[in-house]
Amino acid sequence: MSEDEIKENPVEEEPEVESEAPPAPDEGLLLPRDTLLSAGIHIGTRMKTLDMEPFIYRVRPDGLFVLDVKKTDDRVRIAAKFLARFDRAKVAVAASRLYAHEPVKKYCELTGATPIVGRFIPGLLSNPQYSSRIDPEIIVVSDPRADAQAVKEAGRVGIPIVALCSSDNEFAGVDLVIPTNNKGRRALAVIFWLLARQVLRERGELAADKDPAATIEDFEAKISREDEEDT
């Protein structure tokens, strides 16, 4: 893996299920293109940052930016190879967004990583006097804006940061970007399931033609209307 692959530094919407790019005869994607599109992993926001420009495929008539699913697929593979290098107990995954809580919990359950869901407590990584401090060697964040405190502290202690980034995210402090819809319930379930499967395959804990026992549905947030109104 080249250094460039590791270092980047620069309203949930209804997904369109039509193909966003003409499929190649043999794309070799980790999941069928239709599955990825129906989950909406390609749906960005109506804002685009300069950092995310290389990952944008097009802009829809309604103003939403569309992400390139092939580049998402490529980055999931790269991230999985990178994460598989670390001791499972030394990987942390942060999710402050409600829809990311269940996917992160399931990802950590399957891979042995440490979940940090809900509000990130200041000092969790950087304060040696904090009794509940954790000491990971790498952290994954579900949204570098929503998880800004995690990104800040990870940078302070000098550990790599892998981030799920939509069209409106910037890369400041992030080492490896996975371009994806990081706000949608189904999209987050699919991307964390896919990343978990790849990490297990890279570790040799899951055969290349097998899936984990947990399904994408198991990764999807089960949230009532009352829960949504309380957030």
pLDDT digits (tens, 9 = 90+) for 31-51: 999 999 999 999 999 999 999
Instruction: Please state, in angstroms and rounded to a whole number, the distance separating the CA atoms of residues 222 and 185.
Output: 9
Query: Domain span at residue 54?
Result: 15-230
Domain membership flag for residue 195: yes
Mean pLDDT throughout 94-100? 96
Domain membership flag for residue 100: yes
Domain membership flag for residue 130: yes
Domain membership flag for residue 1: no
Given a cut of 90, whether residue 83 has pLDDT beyond it is: yes
Domain membership flag for residue 7: no
Helix, strand, coil distribution of the chain in percent, nearest 5? 35, 15, 50
Instruction: Please state, in angstroms and rounded to a whole number, the distance separating the CA atoms of residues 226 and 114.
Output: 28
Q: Which helix (H) or strand (E) holds 225?
A: helix 225-230
Look up the pTM and report it.
0.86
Q: What is the pLDDT of residue 225?
A: 53
Confidence bin at 3 (pLDDT 50/70/90): very low
With 0-12 / 13-18 / 19 or more C-beta atoms within 10 angstroms meaning exposed / middle / buried, residue 73 is buried
Please count the structural domains in the chain. Answer: 1
CATH number of the domain to which 159 belongs: 3.40.50.10490
The residue type found at 127 is N
Which residue's structure tokens are 């999209």? 187
